[in-house]
Amino acid sequence: MPAFAQSTPDASIGAGGSFGASDNGRPALVEPSTPALSVEDVNKPLADNEAAFTADQLDYDTEKHIVTATGDVRMIRQGNRMRADKVIWNRDSDDVHAYGNVAIQNPQGDMTYAQDAELTDSMKDGVAQDMLLVLENGGRMAAARGARKDGVYTLNHAAYTPCDVTTSKGCPKEPIWKITAAKVVYDPSRHRVSYRDARLTFLGLPIFWLPAFSHPDGSGAGGNSGLLVPDVSYNSRNGMMYAQPYYIQFAPNRDLTVTPYVFTSVLPMLSAEYRSLSEKGAWRVQGYLTDSSQSTTATTGGSKSVRGYIEANGTWQLSPNWTLTGSLRAVTDKTFLQRYDLNYDDTLRSVVKAERIDGDSYLSIAGWAFQTLVPNVPGSNLAQARQGQQPIAIPAIDYRRRIGDPWLGGTLTLQANTLGLIRTDGQDKQRAFVSAEWQKWLLTGMGQLVTFTAYGRGDIYHSDQNDLTQTVVYQGHPGWEGRGIAAAAVDVRWPFVGDVWGGTQRITPRIQFAGSPRTRNMAIPNEDSRAVDLEDTNLFSLNRFPGYDRWEDGARITYGVEYALDLPRFSLRSDIGQSYRFNNRDSILPPGTGLSGKTSDIVGRATVRYGSFVSVTERFRLDKNSFAIRRNEIDATLGSANTYLQVGYLNLSRNIDPSIEDLRDHEEVRLGARLAIGKRWSLFGSTTLDLSDETQTVSASQSQTLTDLDDGIDPVKSRVGLAYEDDCFEASVQWRRNYAAFGDARYGNSFQFRLAFKNLGR
């Protein structure tokens, strides 16, 4: 078999050694220094019947019509380039024989090295001894003998590797893995490498043998159907798992991936993913199917049934203005996705949406459906756990048009919106409104940026079965209800910019006056404005509620200051503010939201960056009376791209009425880290800890609950792993544990193993 590296490089040629054979007579996969292949005075494409060459000496036998070129011979013909010590060209037979340090480059950029090569005069076909083929994408093949015919390479007693075969100092080294075979066929048109009697060697040890085998050449082009990288893992629910994807390419724009899953403790599972791309758009559909026991009340047992999951999505650009988007997600039961480690979502959303967008208008026509996966157990949101409470939103129509104001120079935005919500066991609602918003921006001579806003809206609602909504303040009145909304605001910013400490700083005081007449809120069912919470992002909003069903009326003044500092490799962005309302609105703004009472809580944000090494962002809310921290959110990243620590902390301590399920208090910390060990190894891990101080009473029969006992420090999920990665090989082992589980998706340890050989996936 051929060697991958020469043991004794030829100093006269350079760091790579001589072309072709190594000192032990076997072909090497270490290419020499790339020779010059250009021909002087040839700076334009040649015709197919033209050839150009140079040499130190040229002889021509007029009787036999043989051209002999010696001494740094270079030749170009039909896009192929060659360099050799000596070339004999028989013009009658069109045979070209090249001797000594032969290097041939085809139009695709692949390089062939040899000591002796017999070629046609076009240099497209030929035979070479002690051949080395270096592909443009980095893979390489060496053979005792190789041939090229009609663009296809056939190598005998050959070896292949995409790995580096030299050290950083240019010395030969054995690659991490290689494939040796009695015969190798490389077809550039199919971008595929095929083997007969193939052996894969890893770290010098043979791993497996196959009578026939093929894989892509690594270019990413062509019809590369075949096996993908397998997935191997273990968990206490399903035992050892082996998943072997098989990729089928029907056309450059259509493919199918079929993956059988084999488990040691449960029956197999099958998944398939189909993808398609066209001039109008792209879509994909993926599904999983198996037969296994299902239980939501115990960790073992349960009835056996067919279980599965399907997801599909796509986007089509129907015209320059119209786009159609669709997404479907559905599962047979609440525990399937978590049991098979597919995902841990608590709600599946499906939507079909048509959008029209131009320079001045936007139209969206959509329909939504939701499937809840929230367990119906103590400690969870029981209203969200009932499928009958999940709405079907159809139609959801939103139209907006922007019109220039010819009189005052502002911008007028018109909006029309309608929404219908249907539930099988809950409140139904229909809503429609039209609104108009006028805005004008003005820059004064002193540098103040003044924004004037006027807003008006008319609503009409209809609802029934309101008493099925669990939270009373969200129910509203059944039947038809109407509402009118009007508001106006003036917002003033005054930035002050100056030089400081070799950089610049900007201080921007801001004040806003906003007013709105008293609005009918409690008669309207509340569907989209439940999670109201004062933050720095909505402090200066005209309506601090997140949706349309609630409107913050009354008169108020909001004030704050923004600060920015930019120094070499250092930046600081911060803002802080508060608002004062001239009347109380406790009925729609419950205590704990930061907005009840006349004076709001104090909110702010600060972001500090030092080069690419430190990034820290903190968002906070302070109690207006005691300055106690009601919201504290920190996201920090310390380190480089290879070694870093990520810290996330969230503390919502708002003391909100627990009957309002959308505003539960919570405290958690998230940690993630990666430690680079040398150039190739890395240790990584992450964990999420629930620090909420709540206690649940759990009986022995309720072991399926999310947490058996919340003592203030409870892990939610954790993982630790070790990974290796180089230019042609990846390996990792990872331990994971998810502590939020119920039913047959019980928690436990999971181990995942991954081995990836470059170009061997497919």
With respect to residue 709, please indicate whether it lies within any of the assigned structural domains. Answer: yes
Regarding whether 669 and 599 lie in a shared domain, the answer is: no
What distance in Å separates the CA atoms of residue 98 and residue 391, rounded to the nearest whole number? 77
Confirm whether 18 is domain-assigned.
Answer: no
On whether both 433 and 555 belong to a single domain, the answer is: yes
Q: Is residue 77 part of a domain?
A: yes
**In contact, 759 and 215? CB cutoff 8 Å:** yes
36 belongs to a structural domain: no
Distance CA 217, CA 189 (A): 11
Q: Judge if 81 and 190 occupy the same domain.
A: yes
In a shared domain, residues 85 and 184:
yes
Is 146 part of any domain?
Answer: yes
| Shared-domain flag, residues 460 and 511 | yes
Rg of the chain over all Cα atoms, to the nearest angstrom = 35
Q: Which two tokens stand for residue 97?
A: 């024989």
The C-alpha atoms of residue 176 and residue 742 are separated, in whole angstroms, by 44
The pLDDT score that the predictor gives to residue 470 is 82
What is d(CA 514, CA 230) in angstroms, rounded to the nearest whole number?
60
Question: Considering the entire predicted model, what is its pTM?
Answer: 0.80
Burial class (CB in 10 A: 0-12, 13-18, 19+), 132: buried
Reduced to 3 states (helix: H, G, I; strand: E, B; else coil), residue 662 is helix
Same domain, 716 and 615: no
Q: Are residues 611 and 681 in the same domain?
A: no
Instruction: Give the end of a domain, one of 200, 218, 236.
Output: 218
As a whole number of Å, the end-to-end CA separation of the chain is 25
Domain boundary among 158, 191, 218: 218
Q: Compute φ and ψ for 663, nearest 5 degrees.
A: -125, 40
Q: Reply yes or no: is the peptide bond before residue 395 cis, omega within 30 of 0.
A: yes
Q: Are 124 and 80 in contact (CB under 8 A)?
A: yes
Containing structural domain, residue 514: 424-622+630-641
The pLDDT assigned to 257 comes to: 96
Q: Are residues 725 and 611 in the same domain?
A: no
Compute the distance between CA of residue 332 and CA of residue 196 in angstroms, rounded to an integer: 45
Do 434 and 582 belong together in one domain? yes
Burial track 194-229 (b if 16+ CB lie within 10 A, e otherwise): bbeebbbbeeeeeeeeeeebbbbbbbeebbbbbebe
197's CB contacts (< 8 A; 6+ apart) are 181, 182, 183, 209, 211
User: What are the CA-CA distances from residue 153 to residues 17, 67, 135, 158, 192 (Å)?
Assistant: 24, 27, 12, 12, 11
Q: Is 339 part of a structural domain of the chain?
A: no
pLDDT, mean of each 10-residue run, the chain (762 residues): 36 32 48 66 65 85 87 85 89 86 87 89 84 86 90 92 83 87 90 90 88 81 75 90 92 93 95 96 97 69 85 96 97 92 91 96 97 78 82 95 88 97 95 97 94 97 92 91 97 96 96 95 92 92 94 95 96 97 79 88 96 95 93 96 95 80 82 94 95 51 37 80 92 88 77 87 62
Q: Does 703 share its domain with 634? A: no
Q: Is 490 helix (H, G, I), strand (E, B) or coil?
A: strand
Does residue 454 contact residue 440 with C-beta atoms inside 8 Å?
Answer: no
Name the DSSP letter for residue 478.
Answer: S
CA separation, residue 382 to residues 374, 469, 676 (Å): 8, 12, 45
Torsion angle, alpha carbons of 588, 593, 595, 599, to 10 = 140
- For residues 757 and 729, the answer to whether their CB atoms sit within 8 Å is yes
Q: Is residue 401 part of a domain?
A: no
The pLDDT value given to residue 93: 82
Tally the C-alpha atoms within 13 A of residue 40's C-alpha that lie toward its C-beta.
Answer: 5
pLDDT on residue 45: 63
* Number of domains composing the chain: 3
> Using an 8 Å Cβ cutoff, are 3 and 132 in contact?
no
Which of these three, 608, 641, 674, is where a domain ends? 641
3-state secondary structure of 346: coil
Which residue, chain included where needed, has tokens 């190598």? 155
Three-class DSSP labels, 269-301 = EEEEEEEEECCCEEEEEEEEEEEEEECCCCCCC
518 plus 598 within the same structural domain: yes
**Structural domain contains residue 99:** yes
Does residue 507 share a domain with residue 593?
A: yes
CATH of the domain at 76: 2.60.450.10
